[in-house]
Structures are given as C-alpha cells and as structure tokens.
Copies of this chain bind each other. A is one copy, B any other.
Amino acid sequence: MTEDSAPHSKSYNIDFQPVGRRIRIKESEDLLTAARNAGIQLISVCGGVGSCENCRIRHVSGTLSPPTKEEEKVFDIEELLEGYRLACQARPLSDVKIEIPLSSLTASQRLQIEGHEISIEPEPVVVPVEVELTPPTFDDLRADVTRIKQVLETLGVPSPMIGFSVLENLSDQLRAQGWNSRLALRGNEVVAVLHPEELLLGLAVDIGTTKLAAYLIDLSSGNTLAKTGDMNPQISYGEDVVSRIAYTNTNKDGRQVLQEKVVSRLNSMLDKLIYEAQVSREQIVDAVVVGNTAMHHLFVGLPVRQLGEAPYVPEVSDSLDVPPQSVGLALSDGAYVHLPPIIAGYVGADHVAMLLATEVVEQDKSVIALDIGTNTEISLITGSRVICCSCASGPAFEGAHIRDGMRAAPGAIERVQIQGQEVRVYTVMGQPAVGICGSGILDAISQMLNEGLIDHRGGLQEDHPLIQRKNDELIFLVVPASESGNDRDVIVTRKDVNEIQLAKGAIRAGIEVLLGEAKLNYEEVEEVIVAGAFGTYLDIRSAIRIGMFPDFPHAKYQQVGNAAGMGAKQMLISSERRRAAEEIARKVEYLELTTYPNFTDVFMKAMIF
C-alpha cells in the first residue's frame, strides 16, 4: 500500500511521547515496527495491515508519509487534521515527534492476579530430604552419585536417581556443602541439592492471551511468598490466538519469536519474585504453568498450525513435565515444569485449572462455570457429566473492535449510568475518561437498553434525546471531548452495539447449547461461576439485562477472579490436586459448537437483546 524504499534509504529519529523513548529507523519502516523496536507495546490486532484501528498515534511534529486509504476509512477529516494516524501505516519523512494515546498501549493496565483461594493441605510433588553423606576415602571410592543413591535407598526411596541437570555441579556442591545437604526429591528423582536451611519453592503461572500472572509459593506451607502480573508481550504480534497462529504460519521463526517473547517476560517476572522474596533461583524446584491450548503450545514450543485449521486439534492433550531448559525458563536446573492436561484445541489447561480451583466437578450441583475472554470456555456440570464448549466471543470485552474501546487502563470507563438525560461514568483509577473498557461497554449497552436508546435488535433510536448524529451516523455521546482526558468525544456507535451483540450472543448460544445437550432448564441451574479478569469486573445485572446470561431464577452468581491461577497454585502444592486435574480432563466431554446442529439458529436468536 506504500511504495517500497530505495535500496539506500535514509533514516530518521522518532521521539515517542509521553513514554519518552527515542529510536532511529529507516524511512521505509513504519511507526508500529519502530515502536516495537523501542520496546513500546502498541496494541495491534490485525498485524499491521491497517484494519484493526488499534495502533492509533498522534503526529506532533515533523513530516510523515501521507495518510493511506485505510487511515482515511478510520479517521474523519477533523481527526486527521489533529494528527491522528495509524502507526502501522505511517512512515517518517523527517525526524518526527509522536504522541501515543494511553488507549493504544498494552502496558500499565490493571492486572488480575487475585483469585478466591480454597485452602489445600500441602502435599507437594517435590519434597525435602536431609542427608548427611560420608566423604570418599581410599577405602571408600564410591562415586558421589552412588553415595546419594545409597543413602536414599536406606530412607526407603525405591531406585533413586539424580536428574541429569543436577549432575552439572554436583561434585563441587557436595564438597562446598561439607557433605550435608537438603535434597529436593521428586518421586525417586533428586531435582536439586540445596543447603540444609533452604526452603523448597515453586512457581505457578497463568499464561493468558492478554495477561500473565505468576506466584512464588513455599511448597511446604503452601504460602504465597510473592506474586506479580504483567502483559503477555505476544500481544504485539496479534491480539487473539488466531492472529498469533497466523503470525507463526507466515513467519519462518514466528513460533520461536512468540515462545521467546513470553518466556523472556516470565523470566523478568520471576526475577522480580525472587528479588521480592529474597530467595535464590536454585530453590525454585517445581513449576505449574496453565494457559489456553494455543498459549500452552506456544510456551512449550509445539506446532500450532493445526490449531488454526479444521478440525482444530491440539498436538498433545496429555499433561507434560518438561525440563525448564527446553523452554528457557530460569528455574533450578533439575526442576520440571508441569503442564496440566488440555481438553480441546480451544479449551485449554487454564479451563481445567479453573474447574479444579472452583471444585465444581467434585460437587453435586448443576453449575455453569465460564471464563470470559476472546475465547470463552463454558462448562456445564450436572449429575455425573461435565460438558464443555468454546465460543468465539471475540475481543470486544477487552475493548478491541469498539470505536473508543480500550483495555482496563487508567482513564477507561468501566461503569456507565444513564438517568434521564444525565450520563455518569466511572473510570479506572478515577482518571479523566479516554475510552471505554469491556465492563464499561457492557454497562453502557445495558443502560442504553433500559433507557430506550436502543431497541431489542440493537438499533439506535434517533428520537431519543441522548442519541446524536455525527458525520451521518447515529451515536451515543458518553463523554464529550471537553470533559475527556484526551480532547476526544467518547462515543458508542451502532457498530459497537453490534460487536457486543456478537460477543454476548456467542456466550449465550454456548450456554443454551450446553443446557439443551444436558436437557436442563433455567430453573435447575444452581450456580454460575464467572472467572477471569473481565468476569470479575462485569456487572452481573447488566450481563443478564443484555441477555449474555439467561435470567436463571435460582442461580447464585460467583465472580472468582483468576481461578486458573489458583488452580495452578493448587497443583503446585498438592500432588492430589494434580491427579484431580487429570481426572477432570478425562471426565469433560467436549462439544464442538461449529458443527452442532442448529447452532446458527441458536446464535442468531442469542444476539437479540
């Protein structure tokens, strides 16, 4: 769409504000690439072809290439005059100064790392064993490893072995520790040789498509010593799993790039946890990592092409225990990273972890448990059955594909109230509004419905005083430019309403199909468990009002936060919970919606308010 550069192209300085980063790039490179190279996490769903409208920037000074047709579609004349551009479309023609709106950044968002904890008796997979070894003499020439094995045998460990990675420094370690050590034992395998006073620790990780959460746990007490959250840096290569799979299909080293990105971010998080808890890396002798199937495969370095092509099967669904070196995670050398089993190509180990943490499978109730995200996984637990499906609910609830949508960063509108002609908004951190996040748009639409701004088909009602016409389009002005944090109107368009209809329709259709499959009616549902970050912040009444959930007359709602992370923690400190997860994965019946009879009809109906 732009002419390619001459072989000896010029290069220019790009000054990104307010983040304050500078980088020099060639005139043939676009500003999205420049921002990425400068370490700035701009949102880009479409992968840089100008169709997702997320990588908005404002041109402050200097000269840029002229706006492309894609940009002319996205921005009106007024916005173009104000300097708004798409980073992926604009190239520098001189040194330039660029302003990045908060809503275009993937970083510094509110991260959901808390979840409802259920206390579990610690019974970790890796346990400490104190040993006092006799040093070798000319009368006792046994190898160091033989010494350890024989002591373990006397302690009742059958066929003890020493992990290969532990051997790398074993002889020097034993001598430095004066032959008194605390061994970290995983079954019959020694995975670390520690000083006698060192605690055994574990790492629990939830790899979300958008967010990462990590917890450092004392394996003997089950206590969380430190926790941290961060963005999944893969987001710069595609906002949802489908676009990341596409990235690996079209880029030779794409899989490796995405793997390294997420592991390197996890290692930074780990550094932070280690520093905060004042422990040593060698103490981290176990890890549990959960994520959806694509995140799981990309983390481990497995092919994902087949996840993107019908019938969308995972390469492996069984649980895995992999050496940290093979994925690049900087734990104790001999540790293993446990990855719980997967249910299907679009129902991953994170859903298993959620079902585990909420203990719904073990209960004798009819429960719907769902984790809302770009993909929403829903399980219906009833009698002895667990039926599960995955809905392509899209990224609208994460603020994408919404005209003024953004993530739940400071200044994002998260609650909307309409009373008569007065509109009140609440923003994240109380900052002046710059956009609207998932729970905000859900709230807005529920209120619009209540107050008659839209009808049951989603059409904006021209005669309502709060509905205005802007550039020949009907809109609901939520916050006028004069009151916003970025001198732009925050509005809701017909297209926005449509996006939410598609998203809520997908979830509702999934619920309806599961209820139909189990022959259960609304009255029989006793509990609805809503997990995930968006699920924590959404207003349940609004969700029912717009029809995302049926109005179950007897259901108790629970918003459980990052239940996947909690499940990972449970599997870290308890081998019984690890076995329970295997049991859950085996028990779940996966139901493929795309080939389910009459699914389209159900979905069409579910889109109506």
A144 B305 Cβ-Cβ under 8 A: no
Known contacts A143-B317, A313-B144: A306-B171 contact under CB 8 Å: yes
What B residues does A168 contact at CB under 8 A?
301-303
Q: Is the CB of B169 within 8 A of A303?
A: yes
Instruction: Collect the chain B residues with CB atoms within 8 Å of residue A175's CB.
Output: 306
The answer to whether A144 and B306 have CB atoms under 8 Å apart is yes
Over the window 124-160 of chain A, the binary record of Cβ atoms lying under 8 Å from chain B Cβ atoms (1 yes, 0 no) is 0000000000001110011111100100000000000
Contact of A138 with B595 in the complex, beta carbons under 8 Å: yes
Contacts of A317 in B (CB 8 A): 142-143, 145-146
Is residue A601 within 8 Å, beta carbon to beta carbon, of the partner chain? no
The CA of A168 and the CA of B259, in the complex, are separated in Å by: 12
**Is A592 close to B, CB under 8 A?**
yes
Which residue of B is nearest A175, CB measured?
A: B306
Q: In the complex, what residues of B have CB within 8 A of residue A79's CB?
A: none
* Chain A residues near B (Cβ < 8 Å): 136-138, 141-146, 149, 162, 164-165, 167-172, 175, 300-303, 305-306, 310-318, 320, 322-323, 325-326, 342, 344-345, 590, 592, 594-595
- Give complex CA distance A179, B579 in Å: 32
Known: A169-B303, A311-B137, A313-B136. A342 touches B143 (CB 8 A): yes
Are B316 and A162 in touch, CB under 8 angstroms? yes
Find out whether the CB atom of B144 lies under 8 angstroms from the CB atom of A316. Answer: yes
Q: Is the CB of A144 within 8 A of B326?
A: no
Cβ A141 vs Cβ B311 within 8 A: yes
Residues of B within 8 A of A136 (CB): 311, 313
Q: Which 6 A-B pairs have the closest CB atoms?
A: A143-B317, A145-B316, A171-B303, A171-B315, A136-B313, A143-B314
Once the chains bind, are A313 and B143 in contact (CB under 8 Å)? yes
Q: Are A172 and B313 in contact (CB-based, < 8 A)? A: no
Give complex CA distance A316, B143 in Å: 5
Given A162-B316, A164-B322, are A171 and B141 also a contact pair (CB < 8 Å)?
Answer: no
Whether A141 lies near B590 (C-beta < 8 A) is yes
**Do the beta carbons of B311 and A164 come within 8 Å of each other?**
no
Contact call B316/A167, Cβ cutoff below 8 A: yes
Q: A167-B300, A168-B301 are in contact. List 18 more A-B contacts (CB 8 A).
A: A136-B311, A138-B311, A138-B594, A138-B595, A141-B312, A141-B344, A141-B590, A141-B592, A142-B313, A143-B342, A144-B313, A146-B316, A149-B318, A167-B316, A170-B303, A170-B316, A171-B303, A171-B315
